[in-house]
Structure 1
C-alpha cells in the first residue's frame, strides 16, 4: 500500500470529509437535544451507558477526534465538558460551539499537517486526516445507539437520514 500524500489528504478533507462532518453535526445536535432532561438516567440494560453518559460521550469524543486532526496528537483528556454543563440541551450547545471552532480550524490545515502520523493509544498509527473519518463513524455509531433510547424514554425521534415517524406525524397533524 502506498503512503497518503499531502495533496491526497487535503483532497480528502476538503472534498469528502468536511461536507459530511458538517451535515452529520447537525443531525447529532438534533439527537442530543431530543433526550428529555428528566430521563437522563435511562439505561436500557445494566451494562449500557445511561442516556446522559452517552450524550456526554458523543459530544466529547467527536471533538476529541477533530482535535486529533488539528493538533496531530491523540489526547484522551482533551475536549472535556465543564461540570456546569449538565442537561442534554446544554451539552448539545457545548458540542455545537466546540464543533464549529474545530471545523474552522480543520479548514486551515495544510496537507503536511494532515499526513502527520498519529498514534492512537498504542493500538495503531494513522495519518491525522483519517481521524476525521474515525470520529465521524464513532459518532454515527453512538448516535444510533442514543436514538434507540429515545422512544423508550417517551421522547420523539428526530429525522436523521429521512423523515422519522415522529416528524411525519407532526407534519400530518399540521396539515402537511
Structure 2
C-alpha cells in the first residue's frame, strides 16, 4: 500500500463526503419507493427480498462509513439498524438520519485518522478515508439492483440521475 499524505486524505474526504451526500438522496428515495406491502418481493429464489436488500444497503453503508470514525472494520458487530425499523418508510428515514450523523462525524476527523491503514477481512488494507469511496460504490451497485426490483413489484422508480419514466409521468400528471 502506498503512503497517503494528510493533505491528500483531507482532500479526498471532501470529495467522498460530497458524493455520499448526493448519492444518499437517491438511495433514500429508492428505499422509500418499495411498496409497503412488497418487502418480501424477490425476483427469484436466489435473491434477497426487497427489504433485505434495502437493509443490506443501509447497514453496509453505515458500517463502511464508520471505518474512518472508528479506525477499524468490525464485521462481527451487531447490525447498526435497530430491530424496530420494519418498513421501507422507516428504513428510509433511519438511513437518512444515519447518513447525516456519519457526515457530521466525518467532518471532525484528523488527517491522522483519515490516513490510518485499516484491514478489511484480511483481504486488503486501505487508508481509512478510502472506505468512503468503497461505501459509495457498494451502495450505488446495490441501489441499482433494488431499483430493478421496483417496477417488477408494482412500484415506481424514482429519479436517480435525472428523471425516470415514473417520475416524469408523475410530473406530467401533476401538470408540470
TM over 0.5, yes or no?
yes
User: Does 1:140 find its partner at 2:140?
Assistant: yes
Superposition deviation, residue 84 in structure 1: 1.2
User: Is the 2:66–2:102 Cα contact (8 Å) retained in structure 1?
Assistant: yes
Superposition deviation, residue 51 in structure 1: 0.5
Could you tell me which residue of structure 2 aligns to residue 164 of structure 1? 164
Superposition deviation, residue 69 in structure 1: 1.5
User: Does 1:54 find its partner at 2:36?
Assistant: no
User: Is the 2:62–2:80 Cα contact (8 Å) retained in structure 1?
Assistant: no
Whole-Å separation in 1 of the counterparts to 2:155 and 2:99: 25
* Structure 1 moving runs of 4+ over 4 Å: none
User: Does 1:80 find its partner at 2:80?
Assistant: yes
**Partner SS for 2:64:** helix
Superposition deviation, residue 78 in structure 1: 5.2
Whole-Å separation in 2 of the counterparts to 1:64 and 1:26: 18
Could you tell me which residue of structure 2 aligns to residue 128 of structure 1? 128
List per-residue Cα deviations over 1:50-80 (Å, max 9, x = no partner): 1110011011110101101211101112552
What stretches of structure 2 of length at least 5 have no aligned partner? none
List per-residue Cα deviations over 1:108-130 (Å, max 9, x = no partner): 11111100000101111110000
* TM-score, normalised with respect to structure 2: 0.96
**Partner SS for 1:13:** helix
Could you tell me which residue of structure 2 aligns to residue 103 of structure 1? 103
* TM-score, normalised with respect to structure 1: 0.96
User: Is the 1:64–1:78 Cα contact (8 Å) retained in structure 2?
Assistant: no
Superposition deviation, residue 175 in structure 1: 2.0
Whole-Å separation in 2 of the counterparts to 1:90 and 1:175: 30
User: Does 1:113 find its partner at 2:113?
Assistant: yes
What stretches of structure 1 of length at least 5 have no aligned partner? none
**Partner SS for 1:70:** helix
User: Is the 2:150–2:156 Cα contact (8 Å) retained in structure 1?
Assistant: yes
**Partner SS for 1:20:** helix
Aligned-residue CA RMSD in angstroms?
1.1
Structure 1 residues 105, 78: closer, same or farther in 2, change over 3 A?
farther
Q: Alignment length, in residue pairs? A: 175
List per-residue Cα deviations over 1:121-160 (Å, max 9, x = no partner): 1111110000000000000000000000000010010000
